[in-house]
Amino acid sequence: MATVSTPASPKTALRMRSAGGMRMRRTVNDVITYILLVLGALLVLIPLLWMIATSLKTESELFLLPLRLFPEVPQWHNYIDVWRIQPFTQFFMNTIFITVLAMGGEILTCALVAYGFARFRFPGRDILFITMLGTMMLPGVVTLIPTFLIWRGFERIDTFTPLTVGALFAWGPAYIFLLRQFFLTIPREIEESATIDGANTLQTFFYVMLPLVKPALLTIAVLSFTGNWNNFQAPLIYINTPQKYPVILALYSFSESLSKEAPKWHYMMAMTVIMSLPIVALYFAAQRYFIEGLTVGAVKG
C-alpha cells in the first residue's frame, strides 16, 4: 500500500475528466487506509491490553486454556500485594529524587550553554559547537568505565550522586541544540531594550529570554523526565543497596527472581503497569511538547 493522495485542489478537480471514477478510487483507497490503520492499531493495543489484563488475574488464571483476555474477577489487590512484596513507596521516592535533580540541572545548564552559543560571538565558537554536536554520535559505552572509576575515586558508588550531579555539566547535546535553535528565533532588539533598561546578562537571561523559550523548556523537561525515569544502565552500575533502588531496579530484581515453576507474571505485569503509568500520564498531559521535541532537528535540520 504505497499510495499517497493529496487533497485535490479545485483546479485539478476541474481538470479531471472521469471525476466519478476518480472519486470511486478515492473511496476504495480510504477504506483500505482505515483497515490498515485499524490492523496496525490492534497490533499495538493487544499486547498492552494483555499486560493490563494479566496484572488483574489470579496466579491460576495465568496459563488457563482456552485463552481469555479478561479475568473472571479482576484482582485489583494484585497491586496492593505488589506494594507489600517490595517497598515501592521508597522506590518511587528514590526515582523522583533522582529524576527531579537530574532534570533540573540538565535544563538550567543546557539553557545557559545554548544561550552562550546562540547570542555571543567568541573565538572558536563554531568548532566548539560542532564538537558538541559530534558527541551525540558517541556511544556511551566508551566513557562508561572511566566515568565509573572517577566516581569510585570520589567514593560515590552506591549513592545517587553519579546519577544526578553529572547533569550540572549540561548533559544532552540534543537539548542544547534545540534550545539554541529557539534562542536564534528571538529578535535581538528584545535583549537590547532590556540592556537599556539596565538589566545585566543574567537578569536578561532569567527574566527576558527564558520566559520567551518556555515551549522549548517544557519540551526538554518532558524528554529529560522520561529519559531519567527510564534510565536503567546507570542505576544498575552505581546502585547496590536495595533501599536505594529506583523503581526500574526493583523491576529488574523481581524479574530475576521469577522462577520457572511458579512464574508470578501477574505481579510482574502489575509492576510494569505501575512503572509505566506516570510516564503515560505525563505523555497525555504534555503531548504537544513531546511531538515538538521529536521533530525539531529532524525535519528542519
Partner 1 sequence: MVDFYARTLIDYAVVALGMAVAMFIVFQVLVRLGMKREAATGYALILPWLLGFIVWTAYPILASLYYSFTNYNVFQPPKWVGLDNYVKWLTNDRSFWPSLRLTLLYGLISLPIGLALSLGVAMLLARNVRGVGVWRTLYYLPAIIPTVATILLWRWLLGSEGLVNQIMSPLYNLIGMDKPSWFVDERYALPGLIIMSLWGVFGANTVILLAGLKNIPTHLYEAVELDGGGAWAKFRHVTLPMISPTLFYTLVLGVIAAVKTFEPGIFIKLNSLTTGTFLQVLVYGNAFAGGNSRMGYASALGWIMLIIIMVLTLLVFRSSALWVYYEGERK
Q: Which of residues 74-113 bind partner 1 (CB under 8 A)?
A: 97, 101, 105, 109, 112-113
Site for partner 1 in 185-224 (CB under 8 A): 201
Question: Does residue number 14 form part of the binding site for partner 1 (CB under 8 A)?
Answer: no
Of 274, 297, 287, 301, whose CA–CA distance to 87 is shortest?
A: 274
What is the rounded CA–CA span in Å between residue 207 and residue 104? 18
Question: Does residue number 65 form part of the binding site for partner 1 (CB under 8 A)?
Answer: yes
Q: How many residues bind partner 1 (CB under 8 A)?
A: 108
What is the rounded CA–CA span in Å between residue 92 and residue 272? 13
Q: Which is nearer to partner 1, 81 or 174 (CB)?
A: 174
CB 166 within 8 A of CB 231: no
Residue 62's identity, in one-letter code, is L
Question: Does residue number 235 form part of the binding site for partner 1 (CB under 8 A)?
Answer: no
CB atoms within 10 A of CB 8: 15
Distances (CA, A) of 186 to 111, 180, 183, 212, 228: 14, 10, 6, 8, 30
Q: With left for phi above 0 and alpha for psi between -120 and 50, is residue 198 left, alpha or beta?
A: left
Site for partner 1 in 25-64 (CB under 8 A): 29-30, 33-34, 36-37, 40-41, 43-45, 47-48, 50-51, 54, 63
Question: Does residue number 24 form part of the binding site for partner 1 (CB under 8 A)?
Answer: no
Torsion angle defined by CA atoms of residues 147, 149, 155 and 159, in that order, rounded to the nearest 10 degrees? 50
Question: Does residue number 181 form part of the binding site for partner 1 (CB under 8 A)?
Answer: no
Q: Min. distance of Cβ 23 from partner 1 in angstroms?
A: 15
Question: Does residue number 286 form part of the binding site for partner 1 (CB under 8 A)?
Answer: no
Q: Which stretch binds partner 1 (CB under 8 A): 75-83, 189-197, 211-219, 282-290?
A: 282-290
Q: Which stretch binds partner 1 (CB under 8 A): 76-84, 188-196, 211-219, 292-300?
A: 292-300
Q: Min. distance of Cβ 259 from partner 1 in angstroms?
A: 13
Question: Does residue number 19 form part of the binding site for partner 1 (CB under 8 A)?
Answer: no
DSSP designation for 204 = I
Q: In the structure grid, which three cell numbers stand for residue 169, read together? A: 555539566
Site for partner 1 in 109-148 (CB under 8 A): 109, 112-113, 115-117, 119-123, 125, 128, 131-132, 135, 137-148
Site for partner 1 in 238-267 (CB under 8 A): 244, 248, 251-252, 255, 263, 265
Of 231, 235, 225, 206, whose CA–CA distance to 285 is shortest?
A: 225
CB 158 within 8 A of CB 241: yes
Of positions 85, 168, 208, 218, contacts partner 1 by CB under 8 A: 168
